A = this chain, B = another copy of it.
Amino acid sequence: MACVVVVYHSVAGHTKSIALSVAKGVSLVDGVGVEVLCVDDVPAFDAKVHQPAWEMLNNADAIVFGSPTYMGSVSAAFKAFMDTTGSLWYVRRWMDKLAAGFTVGGGLAGDKQSTLQAMQVFASQHGMVWVSMGVGVGEKGIDRLSSSIGMMAQADDGPTEETPPKEDHTTAEHFGKRIANATVRWGTA
Contacts and interface: CB of A to CB of B under 8 A. Distances in A.
Interface in A72-108: 72-76, 79-80, 82-83, 85-86, 89-90, 92, 95-96, 105-108
Given A90-B136, A187-B185, A108 B144 contact: yes
Contacts of A120: 120, 130, 149
A126 to B, nearest CB: 8
Interface stretch (A16-24, A48-56, A111-119, A158-166): A111-119
A138 interface: yes
A33 interface: no
Contacts of A90: 136-138
A130 B130 contact: yes
26 contacts: A70-B82, A70-B86, A71-B83, A71-B125, A72-B121, A72-B125, A73-B74, A73-B122, A75-B79, A76-B79, A76-B83, A79-B79, A96-B134, A106-B137, A108-B144, A109-B146, A111-B125, A111-B147, A114-B118, A117-B117, A121-B148, A124-B149, A127-B133, A127-B134, A129-B130, A129-B131
